[in-house]
Amino acid sequence: MNPLRMPRLLPELVEALGRHGVEHAEVRQVELEQRTLLLGHGAPPRVRELAETGWAFRVICDGAWGFAAAPALGPDIALQAAARAVALARTAAAHAPTRTLLAEQAPERGEHCTVLRGEDPLALPVECWLELLAGASPAPRAGLRLQSELTVRRTRTRLLTATGTDIRREVTLARLRQSVVAEDAEHAEPLLHGWAFAALPAAGWVQGGLDELLAGRDLAAQGDRLLQLAGELSSAPRCPPAPARTVILAADALAPLLLGTLVRSLEVDRVLGEENAASGASFLGPSDLRSSRIASPAVSLRLVGDEELPGSPGCWGWDDEGTPCRAQPLVEQGMVAGFLSSREAASLIEEATPSGCMRAAGWRDPPLVRPGSLLLSPSDPGGTLEELVADTPDGLLIQGCRGFACDGLGLTFRLAGELAWEIAGGKRRRLLRQPVIRGATPPFWARCQELGGHASLQLLGLDGRGKGVARLGGEVGLLLPPARFHPVEVIGR
């Protein structure tokens, strides 16, 4: 069946589910196009392309959820998947202790589309991509070479519900990632992930395609700088362990730590224990809302709406329940001020409202509570990263994130940075490799002494497939400053 004709089936499928006793239905169609180009100096380019379309059916029947998905191969396949969702819901209802309830929500209708500048990146021939990346691959230096990976992904979604919601969403994202590897190594672990240090508007994904990603970037100079850093790191001493040091985390190191500790602990499906068997729970409970401190008074975190961060990779218009992406406080001066909530959780937790954060990783997956765009409020007045360094007599500056891990509750963590600078007398001194810190989430954030100011804010875009962060089901946009913590335990590798 022609995928372009599939949207005509969606209203019919919603009506058919209603005739079979379904109390609530969401029918979602997702079309994905992705192209990735991998280029390294002296190596032939490699191109990977992906295009797929699928349906997802999420229903409440007899008071329980059912979910099923299928590739968009025709109406018969769609009907079979819808029937599976209903059958699963009825099976679950026989064992469910309570009935599922949803908070009231007015039907939404509309379209959300990322505004592309210039030519459509997925319509460009591979030769144009090669030309764009040519300046990002300088000659090898000291046995090291640069490897560049350019990815563009477009997702089109249409969502209909039994209550009358009908929304369409099209989001195009681009990412340039650079890694330094040994010149004679074909599949070696990269020595340095350059995108964390590159002069890009995001540490990963940006909205708007190639023009916004590459505009005004001196890729040759950027590549040379990465090769130079990797060469210096190869002979740099390891970061020495210390039980209690002052540590400054640059924004690109702070972002995965923030997502993996504070933010994941505020996701209401974890708070309610609904993900225990999947990606873990939370050390917080519903009673902690507006009553528990999980950070120092310097820390205030907000979920922001699309209108506040229009260039953020977390701008998606509506989530996969049809709820508009809306602003709400999550942490206010260190206190729990809100949860990232679904419609179901909003019916269970007093004062909770749907956050517009139920997003699926793809058409095969049910939506889960995941953040969209986040703002970590800067200090006022606050300084730049270099001013934070100048105000630190002795300590470490950690940049980038090579790996992150936490326990099932998000209570204890370990963060491995890409590199560190030893600070002495308010100045950067030695370059150090393999910096690793660890801590427990509330005590660690309680030791946040100061955040950078407005001039230090960086817009970062992360996804869930790297850096040790659990699969997020959609890109996350973060606007955040660097931060200084004391005392922090620094450990050996």
What domains sit in the chain, N to C, each tagged with a CATH number?
3-235 (3.30.2290.10), 242-491 (no CATH)
Phi and psi at residue 196, to the nearest 5°? -70, -20
pLDDT, tens digit, 9 for 90 and up, residues 119-162: 788 888 888 888 877 766 777 787 888 888 888 899 999 999 98
DSSP 8-state code for residue 98 = S
Tokens of 167: 């929304």
- Lowest average pLDDT, out of 84-93, 158-167, 216-225, 426-435, goes to 216-225
pLDDT, tens digit, 9 for 90 and up, residues 252-261: 999 999 999 9
Q: Which of 108, 111, 109, 115 has its CA nearest to residue 310? A: 115
pLDDT recorded at residue 473: 56
Q: Which of 261, 272, 280 has its CA nearest to residue 330? A: 261
Q: Which of 74, 77, 82 has its CA nearest to residue 28? A: 82
The stretch 177-196 carries a mean pLDDT of 71
Rounded (5°) CA angle 257-404-261: 35
Q: What is the DSSP string of 22-82?
A: -SEEEEEEEEEEEEEEEEETTS--EEEEEEEEEEEEEEEETTEEEEEEEESS-HHHHHHHH
The amino acid occupying position 285 is G
Q: Which of 490, 458, 484 has its CA nearest to residue 298? A: 484
The stretch 363-371 carries a mean pLDDT of 89
The residues, any chain, with a CB within 8 Å of residue 435's CB and separated by 6 or more, are 239, 396, 398, 416, 417, 419, 420, 490
The amino acid occupying position 474 is G
pLDDT category of residue 401 using cuts at 50, 70 and 90: confident
Q: Which of 478, 470, 374, 474 has its CA nearest to residue 171? A: 474
For residues 393-410, b (16+ Cβ closer than 10 Å) or e, as one string? eebbbbbbbbebebeebb
Q: What is the largest CA-CA distance in the chain?
A: 73
